[in-house]
Structure 1
Amino acid sequence: MLPFATSNDVINLWRPLKPEEIIRTDELLKVVSDSLRVEADAVGKDLDLMAFDSLTFSNVLKSVVVDIVARTLMTSTDQEPMTQTSESAMGYSWSGSYLVPGGGLFIKKSELARLGLRRQRYGVIDFYGTN
Structure 2
Amino acid sequence: MTVVERIFVAEHDVTTFATIEDLQSLWRTLKFDERDRAEALLDVVSNSLRHEAQRVGKDLDEMIADSPVFASVVKSVTVDVVARTLMTSTDQEPMTQFNESALGYSVSGSFLVPGGGLFIKDSELKRLGLKKQRFGARDIYGID
- Within the candidate set 85, 101, 105, 1:92 is matched to 105
Q: Tell me what 1:128 maps to.
A: 141
Give the number of the structure with larger relative contact order, counting CA–CA contacts within 8 Å between residues 6 or more apart.
1
Q: Is the 8 A contact 1:81 1:99 kept in 2?
A: yes
Unaligned runs of 5+ in 1: none
1:72-112 CA distance string (max 9 Å, x none): 11111112212332212201111112222221111111111
Give the TM-score normalised by structure 1. 0.92
1:30-78 CA distance string (max 9 Å, x none): 0000011111112121111111221100000000000111111111111
The one-letter code sitting in structure 2 at the alignment partner of 1:129 is G
Q: Tell me what 2:125 maps to.
A: 112
Aligned length: 131
Deviates more, 1:115-124 or 1:33-42: 115-124
Unaligned runs of 5+ in 2: 1-13
> What secondary structure does 1:69 align onto?
helix
> What secondary structure does 1:112 align onto?
helix
Do structure 1's residue 40 and structure 2's residue 85 form an aligned pair? no
Question: 4+ runs of 1 displaced by more than 4 Å?
Answer: none
TM-aligned CA deviation for residue 25 of structure 1: 0.4
Q: Is the 8 A contact 1:75 1:100 kept in 2?
A: no
Do structure 1's residue 4 and structure 2's residue 25 form an aligned pair? no
State how 1:62-101 maps to structure 2 within 5 Å.
62-101=75-114
Give the TM-score normalised by structure 2. 0.84
> What secondary structure does 1:121 align onto?
coil
Change (3 A) 1:119 1:78: same
Q: Percent identity?
A: 65
Structure 2 Cα separation of the partners of residues 112 and 89 of structure 1: 42
